[in-house]
Amino acid sequence: MLCLTCLLPSIVFADIGIVQPSSSPEARPDESDAPVADAPTAHELLYGVLTLGEFESPDLIFESDDADFAERFESFYHRDVPAVSEMAFAVSSGLSADEVAIIEPDKKADHNEILSMLRSHIKEEETVYELYSPADVSNLRDAYIGKEGGFIVLVVSKQKNDILDLIKSCLRSPDKLPPVTEDTAPPVTDTPETEPPATSALETETDEPETTGTEPAETETETDPPVTETEPPETEPPVTEPPVTEPPVTEPPVTQPPVTEAVTTQPPVTTPPQVDTTYSPNDMYKYDNALPEREHTPDGYFSDAIFVGDSRLAGIMLYARPQVAADYSVVALNVVTVFTTKAIDIGGGNKVTVADAIRMSKFNKCYIMFGINELSWPSHEGVIAQYKKVIALIREVNPNAEIYILNVFPVTYAYWQSHSMMGNDRVQNLNKLIANMAYEENLRLVNAAEALTGSDGNLPANYSSDGVHGTPEACRKLFDYMCTHW
């Protein structure tokens, strides 16, 4: 991760869409590199341009005064936050790659380093959007990176020229800029409508927590791309009244799939699960289509199964030690890097992506677990769109495979308090979208959240040493749950 410490004293980012990895355009000639007398701050310039131009206003706005600003910056740019005096950035929860960055370098800063950072960011974005939203790639390749009036500027947008013209106009006549007030600033939403990739529009990898010695470390996408702010309560997680009416639940017939042969019969579901983003600890992890409890799996049940997922699934492999056909659980893996990161060693010093490893595998069952690295992505709908590509890959390799989806178990309340983008309100939102996906795609939903949730709706503190990853006891408990929900 590139550290920009002490480089940027004033930086403002506005993303009119999600930001995820992309390509690297060359910096344009800095025709107007000279600082402007009485120039506005980068913060004032960006807000003014967005307001005066009436461009699609970003709905997620973050400033250096925000308690979780560092976390949001790192989740979007996948780099350490520079130590600066004033910063702000805004992103949209939409799925386009549009982005504007305005940076005021420190007098001693190496401008080439900053330009290189922006080019690397755009190159990463293009990599993700080629998979996620190919229509945006041309805008990324046509990105503007240059210098204007003492600022370093990045613009990714179909309206690139209009935005640049307005930036230059406002630098020539700073008095035309409206004041940054609650009335003129683009609106801020409290909760996302849906989350990538980080940025990161799509999870690029998250920062990797230190290894504790008991749980595998994993980066957390704080992917993929910035996220709307939902502050956890100071004392207790918010509780809302559960819905008055419960959706009908029917008990699927107990149909035991054979151990060695693929089974095409899926558990019946009568109604799609409800999607409600309201945080309600007493009822937050109940889904109509989750697999019910049944007798323990027979010996050898997992021997024809492949396990695909992130470090939370890797914890199950490490501590429960199931006998499986292949283990493709990888620290920091997400629904995008399945296709892009060469993480599986096939011998001879060669590595392939998880996607390619799956293509080379023989299996009748597939257990998949993603979500913790994608939790902070601005659009959870974006996560699901990419998740479906993983499902499509599995079915391409084996159309008759039984596909089990493990949803996201919560984090501890203490972790939520210090990482609002990784809060259990967002876990609930993503899990309901995962439940919907399981219903639509006819997948078997394993309610991992139910297995590891305490009475307050959070992961019990004794089940995790870092607030995110399961202890050996928690991992074994989750695997036992899997053995009775199949």
Listing DSSP states for 326-359 in one string gives EEEE-TT--TTHHHH-EEEEEETTEEEEHHHHHH
Reported in sequence order, the residue ranges of 109-230 that DSSP labels E, i.e. its strands, are: 144-148, 151-156, 198-199, 224
Render pLDDT for 111-123 as a digit per residue (tens, 0 to 9).
Answer: 888 888 888 888 8
Q: Phi and psi (nearest 5°) for 228?
A: -65, 150
Position 58 scores a pLDDT of 56
**109 vs 111: CA distance, rounded Å:** 6
Q: Which amino acid is residue 268, in one-letter code? A: P
Q: Which amino acid is residue 332, in one-letter code? A: A
CA distances from 414 to 35, 305, 425 (A): 45, 35, 14
Nearest Cα residue to 371 out of 163, 158, 141, 206 = 206
Judge contact between 183 and 190, C-beta under 8 A.
no
**116 vs 122: CA distance, rounded Å:** 10
Reported in sequence order, the residue ranges of 234-338 that DSSP labels E, i.e. its strands, are: 305-309, 326-329
Position 182 scores a pLDDT of 56
Q: Which two tokens stand for residue 281?
A: 């600890």
SS3 of 281, please? helix
Which H or E element spans position 343? strand 342-347
Nearest Cα residue to 100 out of 190, 40, 166 = 166
Position 421 scores a pLDDT of 85
Locus of tokens 């309340």: 413
CATH architecture of 224-229+258-483: 3-Layer(aba) Sandwich (3.40)
Locus of tokens 């007493």: 282
Q: Output the tens digit of pLDDT for each of the chain's 486 residues.
A: 333 333 333 445 444 443 343 444 544 444 456 566 678 888 888 888 888 988 875 556 667 667 766 666 665 666 666 645 566 676 655 556 788 888 888 777 788 888 888 888 888 778 767 655 677 888 889 999 999 988 888 888 888 999 999 999 999 999 999 988 754 444 433 333 333 333 333 333 333 333 344 444 444 433 444 433 444 444 444 444 444 444 444 444 444 444 444 433 444 443 445 444 444 555 679 999 999 999 999 999 999 999 999 999 999 999 999 999 999 999 889 999 999 889 999 999 899 999 999 999 999 999 999 999 999 887 899 899 999 999 999 999 999 999 999 999 999 999 999 888 899 999 999 999 999 999 999 999 999 999 999 989 999 999 999 999 999 999 999 999 999 999
Name the pTM for this structure. 0.53
**324 vs 444: CA distance, rounded Å:** 18
Q: Which residues pair with 61 in a beta bridge?
A: 90
**434 vs 426: CA distance, rounded Å:** 12
Render pLDDT for 431-443 as a digit per residue (tens, 0 to 9).
Answer: 999 999 999 999 9
Q: Which amino acid is residue 186, in one-letter code? A: P
Position 36 scores a pLDDT of 62
Nearest Cα residue to 270 out of 252, 283, 254, 256 = 252
**22 vs 13: CA distance, rounded Å:** 16
Radius of gyration of the chain (CA): 23
Position 71 scores a pLDDT of 61
**421 vs 300: CA distance, rounded Å:** 39
**43 vs 186: CA distance, rounded Å:** 12
Position 173 scores a pLDDT of 92
Packing angle, helices 42-52 and 160-172, rounded to 10: 120
**308 vs 354: CA distance, rounded Å:** 8
Nearest Cα residue to 224 out of 237, 205, 241, 239 = 205
Q: Phi and psi (nearest 5°) for 100?
A: -130, 130
* Segments making up each domain of the chain, as ranges: 10-189, 224-229+258-483
SS3 of 137, please? helix
